[in-house]
Amino acid sequence: MAITPRRLVTPTQLGTTISTLYTATNVRTLIDKVTAVNTSGGAVTFDMHIVPSGGSATATNKLIAARSVAANETYTCPEMVGHVMEASETIQALASAATAIGIRASGREVSST
């Protein structure tokens, strides 16, 4: 078994439609840290999901719902920390305003090799 620390989500700006930020490809993934920062001049909300393989973002897999982030605020997403993702599960997210919320995530990938 190999455990590899990884940047799961390269710093990226959320859009207003749901998008995949990370896929656990042939590994089990442990989420250690997720950070969201609002670089805009007003409050913006965002949603974040851990979606099962072959599934879609729905209310049943939403972990962060309409979380408001004030202008220039950083939010550390404690709802995501400690979750384990199985192979082919994804982190998906969207924001109420495009290019306002930046996301970065780190964790550990566990492979059987």
Contact 46, 95 (CB under 8 A): yes
Per-residue pLDDT band at 112 (split at 50, 70, 90): confident
Task: Determine phi and psi for 54, rounding to 5 degrees.
Answer: 80, 0
Q: How many other β-carbons are positioned within 10 Å of the β-carbon of residue 67?
A: 17
Amino acid at 88: S
What pLDDT, in 10s, does the model give residues 27-60? 999 999 999 999 999 999 999 999 999 999 999 9
**CB-based contacts of 101: which residues, under 8 Å, 6+ apart?**
13, 14, 36, 37, 38, 39, 44, 46, 69, 95
Domain containing 38 — which CATH number?
Answer: 2.60.120
- Give residue 24's pLDDT band: very low, low, confident or very high (50, 70, 90): very high
**pLDDT for the residue 48:** 98
Domain membership of residue 43 as a residue range: 2-111
Number of domains in the chain: 1
**pLDDT band at residue 9 using 50, 70 and 90 as cut-offs:** very high
Closest CA to 37 of 84, 75, 90: 75
State the burial class of residue 8 (Cβ atoms within 10 Å of its Cβ: 0-12, 13-18, 19+): buried
- Dig out the tokens for 79 from the structure: 């709802």
Q: What is the pTM of this model?
A: 0.95
